[in-house]
Structure 1
Amino acid sequence: MDSNGDGIGDLKGITSRLDYLKELGVDVVWLSPIYESPNDDNGYDISNYRDVMREFGTMEDFDEMLSEMHKRGIKLVMDLVVNHSSDEHPWFIESRKSKENPFRDYYIWRPGKDGSEPNNWVSFFSGSAWKYDEATDEYFLHLFSSKQPDLNWENPKVRNEVYDLMTFWLDKGIDGFRMDVINCISKVEGLPDATPAPGEKYAWGGEFFTNGPKVHEYIQEMNERVLSKYDIMTVGETGGVTPQDAQLYAGYNRDELNMVFQFEHTDVDSGPGGKWDLAPWKLSDLKVIMSRWQDELYGKAWNSLYLNNHDQPRSVSRFGDDKNYRVESAKMLATFLHLQQGTPYIYQGEELGMTNVAFPSIEDYRDVEIHNLWRERIVEGSGDADKLLHAIHVKGRDNARTPMQWDASANAGFTKGTPWIGMNPNYVDINAKAALEDPNSVFHYYQKLVDLRHNHLIMVYGKYDLILRDHPQIYAYTRTLGEEVWLVICNFYGDEAEFTLPTGLPETAVELIVSNYEARESLDVRRLSLRPYEALVYKLS
């Protein structure tokens, strides 16, 4: 929400909408980075960790926002981005001045090899992960944008700086951190070459910088020095982790983090060529992935539950039907997710059923990842522009970054100025004002799910068990806590589906807890004919 008409959402704007969040029922707000930044990568390139980006407001605005959140019983989790800084951070400005500079070792510098980069790693954002710097005739490592040089966690001074800045924010009263790409902070010694695909110059070096050799040592040190001293919540963004890895990062007795974000389910529609190689997703794959995380973390570590975030396309466009059954499929996906064990994350607009946007031109996009991809494949390569634009429409990160749709007025009530990125034109129909006025809206359904979680321990602590493993249309499972059993049934498709209760479960329900269509008369759950994208949750006897 933009409070001053410059087209950019800001802290005062957030403060003005806190009653909306309170009405939804959320307990915690996680903010993407709000620190001082040149904004090369939407604030994930930080030039001052102890101040607020001017476009977002002042530290006084931040203090007011935090105070108003706490008055409403809402906690605040900040984004901690310490795998890299901005190249405009004073540390890096000093670091690049000379090889003898005291800040040189704050970053990862290497001489070239055979007239080229120190190794062949590819950046997350395409192209080489190294940038040459003429001043000292060396390269620095950047796993992301070239304006995001990687910090050198081997240097204890860097770690001390990080713990100091974390303490600064915690002492201001924030309630925790979401830690950006935290499992990339430890690199394998020697930074060896990765194996490239045939004909390729650069190679994915993930095995050398994800879940690296000292990552748990660093996070345990962080926990001992900072996290353990506060009553806070922590979640690590950890791409490329298995449930076994997650048990190390978030195990109950590990003294590291409270939970992690894993990405296995968000790769379910990626082909062999990765994210931009579109492939139809399969319900059978989703069942295997989600169930593995539920089963293998149960009693050992805590799950985080999400389908949307600032880096993912809109879930109703991805896993539902955003044209014919937008409301029904958005509610079904919410049921599927929120009834599992873990902490559910609602991304802005998800509770309205906001959809992907298909901007007509590459010029309409703002994401550095998209523009690097376009330059590499279309401007400098010989790729198919129409095919790539379609892939961007489906998977691009800007799908999640179009402004929040508050009402049907100009620019969806987000700003009185020109928004920093284009609006999704469907805001006239899909917006918070309309949703609040409609008792059958996606918003009110999310509100109901949040309320159930606040009031039923089985939603928090119940054991998850997948049923109907091989059903091609239905994702169904039970949650069990003591003698209480809940049955969750979700039709993932726009056709009707036949549900048959497996043997061994009670055949009569005591209560229909929640459903996304008008209530059914019978509580007989032996056989059910499910409507398109229907979701049902029963309490069994």
Structure 2
Amino acid sequence: MLSTNPITAQENKAATDSKWWKEAVVYQIYPRSFKDSDGDGIGDLKGIISKLDYVKSLGIDAVWLNPIYTSPNDDNGYDISNYREIMADFGTMEDFDLLLKEMHKRNIKLIMDLVVNHSSDEHEWFKQSRSSRDNPYRDYYHWWPAEKGKPPYRWSFFDVNSDAWKYDAQTNSYYLHYFSQKQPDLNWENPKVRNEVYDIMRFWLDKGIDGFRMDAFQFASKDTSWPELPKGFEKNIIKYYGVGPHLHEYLQEMNREVFSKYDIMTVAEGAGSSPEDALLFVDPNRKELNMAYHFESVDIGKHVKDFGLVKYKEIFSRYDKTFKDKGWLSIFLANHDQPRMVSKFGNDTPEFREISSKMLSTFVMSMRGTPYYYHGDELGMINIRFDSIDDYHDVDTRNKYFGLKNRGGDLKAFLEEQKQTARENGRTPFQWDTTANAGFTTGTPWLKVNPNYAIINAEAQEKDPNSVLNYFRKLVQLRKENPILIYGKYTLIDKDNPDVFAYTRELEGKKVLVVLNFSDKNVKINTGFNIKNAKVLIANYNNLAKDGLLRPYEAIIYKL
């Protein structure tokens, strides 16, 4: 259950308005990779239902479910062809209704992923839209008649160095696709499109779901005068593509028409290019969304060693400072668009995988904001590091590879980089046990299972009280029992330390100190506090070292 402790934090005005979605721990499930129930190699809704007791045992409060709508699957479900149907790979609407019922029975809320910046090109709206220039659905998308010449260049995320305007011979016109050419962008300038989306939202909310995470929504509003963009604009894509001229108007309308009528959690992927931009989305006075989800902390580089911990601390502290009085943040280190958490921010060698995974979990669960935790990270799952392009299914990796091949680029270097950065590192099937395919499926898995499942799996960790899994459970419980870890004021300590991330959390005259060693060496720390007699709330080593010394990837939360 969520905390019912009364919060009266003078130090933190944002805490005076307690909400369930601030106190929740959100667990992200990528359905294709979680659990397959029928042996076709693809995770499904019945598979999730069969593992809900495991999900509940984690102590989490809400599940963010990646798209399960009908889709031709060009971008693993982020290209939706029917927003009111379930993809056959995942099951039926009856399966969904049962999933929702069983989740609510266990006091788990369900947050649906909604993709409305674009649809699939196989959606009926787009089929109608491309059929003729005078079709009633023509203005549901962005079209440019060929007789006007080529439209102003727009870069495509999933087709690097190619144009996001795709020629369509049927009406001698170009349509816009910021992502795959099978993902035409919807025209949010058209009020009919907006009303269609609001109806879709009501359909799911009236079923009883608990909120939406809206994919790529910061790109929904475009400057439809289509100005020429400066050379190299794609290096700062959010500045030119994100937060268009009417985005906040659309969100305020969406809130009026839909969100305000339900007690739900609402968050959009991305939130502008700065903390100040992000706050505009979630300032309660503006009546838009209720939680910001920014990417600056995960898009910073290939590995924490590459960009430096000092810079990383500065990002989190800057966002926290902007949000200290109002609004609310998400805290996360991984999701379905990222490599595995421990491979990017920790150390996935056999020597340090477990201890660094525990350290990273301590960070996520002790920061101010709602923690999002990606499935499999509670086991310390790591990057699979494919050797061949044939092993990749992801449109992003494959398009980049073949685009590079056409340009005569260094394919070997590209594949080596993908071992660290590719999205499918985080999409390999969940490792349940030591049976074939890690217990994920009795068939052939849609994506290869990491061969380390014999060592890293849930069944083995259930039996080990010191496992990464059981440490995660303790952290979740600690957060629930200590509102200071949810609402407490954050203050960075020793900001120039290149190895240690240390901070305090304060609430109602109480204070805790969090110290996290992000390095693989012993480091001396001086927090300025007398921690000799401080109570240890949790630590990822079984015994404490000498005062002032942190061992590799050590994490400790002290009650001061």
Q: TM-score range by the shorter chain?
A: over 0.9
Is 1:234–1:259's contact at 8 Å kept on the other side of the alignment?
yes
Decide whether aligned partners of structure 1 residues 328 and 205 sit closer, same or farther in structure 2, where only a CA change above 3 A counts: closer
Q: Pick from 358, 362, 365: which aligns with 1:338?
A: 365
Q: Which amino acid aligns with 2:252?
A: Q
In structure 2, the partner of 1:407 is 433
Asked if 1:303 is matched to 2:332, the reply is no
In structure 1, the partner of 2:157 is 124
In structure 2, the partner of 1:142 is 177
What is the distance in 2 between the residues matched to 1:445 and 1:138? Answer: 57
Shift of 1:203: 8.2
Is 2:114–2:212's contact at 8 Å kept on the other side of the alignment?
yes
**TM-score, normalised to structure 1's length?**
0.94
What is the distance in 1 between the residues matched to 2:167 and 2:485? Answer: 52
In structure 1, the partner of 2:200 is 165
What is the distance in 1 between the residues matched to 2:296 and 2:70? Answer: 32
Alignment of 1:479-518 (within 5 A): 479-502=505-528, 505-518=529-542
Is 2:146–2:173's contact at 8 Å kept on the other side of the alignment?
yes
Q: Which amino acid aligns with 1:529?
A: L
Decide whether aligned partners of structure 1 residues 384 and 75 sit closer, same or farther in structure 2, where only a CA change above 3 A counts: same
Deviations 1:414-461 (A, max 9, x none): 000000011111111101111111111111111111101111110111
Counterpart secondary structure, 2:548: strand
In structure 2, the partner of 1:71 is 105
Shift of 1:519: 3.2
Deviations 1:118-149 (A, max 9, x none): 11111111221111000111110001000000
Decide whether aligned partners of structure 1 residues 203 and 245 sit closer, same or farther in structure 2, where only a CA change above 3 A counts: closer
Is 1:194–1:203's contact at 8 Å kept on the other side of the alignment?
no
Asked if 1:81 is matched to 2:115, the reply is yes
In structure 2, the partner of 1:184 is 219
Deviations 1:81-100 (A, max 9, x none): 00000000000000001110
Deviations 1:465-517 (A, max 9, x none): 00011112111000011211100000101100001122xx4555441000000
Q: Bigger shift: 89-98 or 293-302?
A: 293-302
In structure 2, the partner of 1:529 is 549
Asked if 1:61 is matched to 2:88, the reply is no
Counterpart secondary structure, 2:239: helix
In structure 1, the partner of 2:470 is 444
What is the distance in 2 between the residues matched to 1:76 and 1:113? Answer: 48
Is 2:239–2:273's contact at 8 Å kept on the other side of the alignment?
no
What is the distance in 1 between the residues matched to 2:203 and 2:261? Answer: 13
What is the distance in 2 between the residues matched to 1:530 and 1:4? Answer: 48
Shift of 1:241: 2.9
Counterpart secondary structure, 1:267: coil
Alignment of 1:33-432 (within 5 A): 33-112=67-146, 115-116=149-150, 118-125=151-158, 126=160, 127-197=162-232, 206-238=238-270, 240-269=272-301, 280-323=306-349, 324-378=351-405, 380-432=406-458
Decide whether aligned partners of structure 1 residues 455 and 529 sit closer, same or farther in structure 2, where only a CA change above 3 A counts: same
**TM-score, normalised to structure 2's length?**
0.91
Q: Which amino acid aligns with 1:54?
A: A
Q: Pick from 34, 37, 41: which aligns with 1:3?
A: 37
Query: What's the C-alpha RMSD, in Å, of the aligned pairs?
Result: 1.7
Shift of 1:115: 4.9
Counterpart secondary structure, 1:57: coil
Counterpart secondary structure, 1:416: coil
Is 2:545–2:551's contact at 8 Å kept on the other side of the alignment?
no
In structure 2, the partner of 1:274 is none
Counterpart secondary structure, 1:79: strand
Decide whether aligned partners of structure 1 residues 239 and 203 sit closer, same or farther in structure 2, where only a CA change above 3 A counts: same
Decide whether aligned partners of structure 1 residues 203 and 246 sit closer, same or farther in structure 2, where only a CA change above 3 A counts: closer
Shift of 1:397: 0.5
In structure 2, the partner of 1:275 is none
Shift of 1:270: 5.7
Is 2:302–2:420's contact at 8 Å kept on the other side of the alignment?
no
Asked if 1:14 is matched to 2:48, the reply is yes
Decide whether aligned partners of structure 1 residues 239 and 355 sit closer, same or farther in structure 2, where only a CA change above 3 A counts: farther
What is the distance in 2 between the residues matched to 1:506 and 1:496? Answer: 20
Counterpart secondary structure, 1:358: coil
What is the distance in 2 between the residues matched to 1:152 and 1:428? Answer: 49
Structure number with the bigger relative contact order (C-alpha 8 A, sep ≥ 6) is 2
In structure 2, the partner of 1:477 is 503
Counterpart secondary structure, 1:54: coil
Shift of 1:360: 1.5
Deviations 1:22-51 (A, max 9, x none): 100110001000000000000000000000
Decide whether aligned partners of structure 1 residues 109 and 509 sit closer, same or farther in structure 2, where only a CA change above 3 A counts: farther
Shift of 1:281: 2.1
What is the distance in 2 between the residues matched to 1:23 and 1:436? Answer: 11
Q: Which amino acid aligns with 1:537?
A: I
Q: Which amino acid aligns with 2:231?
A: P
Decide whether aligned partners of structure 1 residues 204 and 376 sit closer, same or farther in structure 2, where only a CA change above 3 A counts: farther
In structure 1, the partner of 2:28 is none
Is 1:35–1:49's contact at 8 Å kept on the other side of the alignment?
yes
What is the distance in 2 between the residues matched to 1:299 and 1:20? Answer: 37
Shift of 1:251: 1.3
Percent of pairs with identical residues:
54
Is 1:121–1:203's contact at 8 Å kept on the other side of the alignment?
no
Decide whether aligned partners of structure 1 residues 412 and 225 sit closer, same or farther in structure 2, where only a CA change above 3 A counts: same
Is 2:302–2:421's contact at 8 Å kept on the other side of the alignment?
no
In structure 1, the partner of 2:57 is 23
Is 1:122–1:203's contact at 8 Å kept on the other side of the alignment?
no
Counterpart secondary structure, 1:532: coil
In structure 1, the partner of 2:558 is 538
Q: Bigger shift: 107-116 or 455-464?
A: 107-116
What is the distance in 2 between the residues matched to 1:203 and 1:347? Answer: 28
Shift of 1:112: 4.1
Deviations 1:509-529 (A, max 9, x none): 44100000013388xxxx411
What is the distance in 1 between the residues matched to 2:195 and 2:187? Answer: 12
Shift of 1:267: 2.2
Decide whether aligned partners of structure 1 residues 423 and 239 sit closer, same or farther in structure 2, where only a CA change above 3 A counts: farther
- Which ranges of structure 2 fall in alignment gaps of 5 or more residues? 1-34
Is 1:495–1:531's contact at 8 Å kept on the other side of the alignment?
yes
Give runs of ≥4 in structure 1 deviating > 6 Å.
Answer: none
Decide whether aligned partners of structure 1 residues 204 and 501 sit closer, same or farther in structure 2, where only a CA change above 3 A counts: closer
